[in-house]
Amino acid sequence: MDTVAIVMKAPQELALRRLPLAPATESDVVVQVAWSGISTGTERLLWSGRMPPFPGMGYPLVPGYEAVGQVVAAGAASGRSVGDAVFVPGARCFGTLDGQEVRGLFGGAASHLVVPGARALRIDRAFGERGILLALAATAWHAIAGPGAAPPDLIVGHGVLGRLLARLTLLTGAAPPMVWERDPARRGDAGDYPVCSPDADERRDYRAIYDASGDAALLDPLIARLAPGGEVVLAGFYAERLSFAFAPAFMREARLRVAAEWRDADLLAVSEMVAEGQLSLDGLITHHEAASEAERAYRTAFEDSACLKMVLDWRSLA
């Protein structure tokens, strides 16, 4: 069995390639992918060559960790059935290309995937393409729902992650958070919470600031906006080394928390929230391309500020 996959052979060198797939075992499923998403955080770093040292890092690689599709083959011990609609957060199932091992980092951008059944989350078929947003929703929930975590009263960045953080904050019953966004085009469609430029906000007593921008230079300005004992939560992914001035942090007795990768429980929780109509994923996908136009899609996702989320449609390559 083989698959058509997006392969980054080197930074800014991307193409569709046909790759062999690892044989499926009794515990595996084969998923025919309908849609996958492009991450403007981690995948931008892979594309630009700025990804910091990371387990499994290296080129050539198949990117992507936001895939939705249908099970077309299921092993007896997989716990899944043919026809199940599933979300797949990436895969490591690819063979070689021109004699080189193709790494699955994160391995979801392909027409077919072989993954353990436990890694394929059953979802409501009605999610459709919006299912690709579950990974970002789980990332946001993991940041908010951690042990002892306070919900944000300030969120930095009104991209998809920032919007999901705001929506989930409201679901917890907390007060609407302030959201900072420098791009005027991204300040609209906020819903039930305010969005403004950082320069328009004079408040300096935030208890919990969640950064969804991935900007490593923001620590000092954010610490300056904390209340005594306040916390800055790093919810983005950062290519540059992070540092901050000690004295202002000392005076505020500031705390710093890194929100790590989501866990299975986070993914299940947000999937249930969406299925029950509590969490809306509407209005977050702004652009679509056929997977055959992958290079154009990646450039749009990374270069067009109007693009909140790009979806690749794999159905014509099934």
Element (H, E) at 33: strand 28-38
Domain 137-258 listed as CATH 3.40.50.720: yes
Encoded amino acid at 257, one letter: R
pLDDT of residue 122: 97
DSSP-assigned states of every residue in 182-249:
S-GGGSS---SS-EE-GGG-----EEEEEE-S--GGGHHHHHTTEEEEEEEEE-S--SSPP---HHHH
Residue 55 clears pLDDT 90, i.e. is over it: no
Q: How confident is the model at residue 273 (pLDDT cuts 50, 70, 90)?
A: very high
Q: How confident is the model at residue 261 (pLDDT cuts 50, 70, 90)?
A: confident
Find the mean pLDDT for residues 254-260. 94
Under 8 Å between Cβ of 261 and 180: no
Under 8 Å between Cβ of 257 and 222: no
Rounded to two decimals, what is the model's pTM? 0.95
| Residue 64 token pair | 């992507």
Q: What angle do CA 189, 195, 198 make, to 5 degrees?
A: 145
Q: What's the chain's average pLDDT?
A: 95
How many whole angstroms separate alpha carbon 118 and alpha carbon 88? 10
pLDDT of residue 260: 83
Structural domain boundaries of the chain? Answer: 2-122+286-317, 137-258
Q: How confident is the model at residue 296 (pLDDT cuts 50, 70, 90)?
A: very high
| Residue 299 token pair | 């450039």
The domain made up of 2-122+286-317 has a fold known as: Quinone Oxidoreductase; Chain A, domain 1 (3.90.180)
Computed over its alpha carbons, how large is the radius of gyration of the chain? 20
Q: How confident is the model at residue 20 (pLDDT cuts 50, 70, 90)?
A: very high
pLDDT of residue 189: 78
Instruction: Report pLDDT digits (tens) over 222-231.
Output: 999 999 999 9
Q: How confident is the model at residue 81 (pLDDT cuts 50, 70, 90)?
A: very high
Find the mean pLDDT for residues 161-169. 97
Backbone φ and ψ for 9, nearest 5 degrees, come out as -80, -25
Q: How confident is the model at residue 119 (pLDDT cuts 50, 70, 90)?
A: very high
How many whole angstroms separate alpha carbon 132 and alpha carbon 121? 12
Q: How confident is the model at residue 298 (pLDDT cuts 50, 70, 90)?
A: very high
Residue 82 clears pLDDT 80, i.e. is over it: yes
